[in-house]
Amino acid sequence: MPTQPEVEPSVKSFQQLEALVKRLRSKQGCPWDQQQTAASLKKYILEEAAELAEAIDRGDEQHICEEAGDLYFVLTLLLVICEEKGGCSVADALNAVCEKMLRRHPHVFAADDQVMPSEEQLKTQWERIKQEEKRR
């Protein structure tokens, strides 16, 4: 099993965002946030992703930061809603993507003495691992 990287201070920021969203969804929270559903958030996810893409195209670092934050917010809201319904939580989604990236990057998280594959070998490896995941 690949070794996990050290936990960064940004973990606290993820926890703070999740706590903020849960407060907004609580009885003492915001009516707009309380009314949202997974389906109602689809348009906001697409809007925020498009705004982030535009900021990237412009090379506007300040707006990239802002729009990435907005996208994090909407995705966190989506996952809190899913968790309320007995589904996937923020932690579940983050753990799943971490496990996936560890699996898909054995050249980074495996033994330190491993030779770095070429770009073509990396693409082949990535696709092979994705296919193995689909067969599970």
The CATH number for 50's domain is: 1.10.287.1080
Residue 116 confidence (pLDDT): 81
Full-model pTM = 0.84
Q: Is residue 123 part of a domain?
A: no
What residues make up the domain containing 16? 10-89
Q: Is residue 58 part of a domain?
A: yes
Q: Is residue 66 part of a domain?
A: yes
Q: Is residue 109 part of a domain?
A: no
pLDDT-based confidence at 109, cuts 50/70/90? confident
Q: Which runs of consecutive H residues, i.e. helices, occur in the chain?
A: 10-25, 31-35, 38-58, 61-84, 90-104, 106-109, 119-135
How many C-beta atoms lie closer than 10 Å to residue 98's C-beta? 12
Q: Under the phi-then-psi rule, with left for phi > 0, alpha for psi from -120 to 50, and beta for the rest, what region is 43?
A: alpha
- pLDDT per position as a tens digit, 54-102: 999 999 999 999 999 999 999 999 999 999 999 999 999 999 999 999 9
Q: Is residue 131 part of a domain?
A: no
Q: What number is the average pLDDT over the span 112-126?
A: 84
Please report where in the chains the tokens 């907005």 appear, as a residue: 70
Q: Is residue 25 part of a domain?
A: yes
Q: Is residue 83 part of a domain?
A: yes
Whether 104 contacts 98, CB under 8 Å: no
- pLDDT per position as a tens digit, 8-44: 778 889 999 999 999 999 999 999 999 999 999 999 9
Q: Which two tokens stand for residue 103?
A: 């699996």
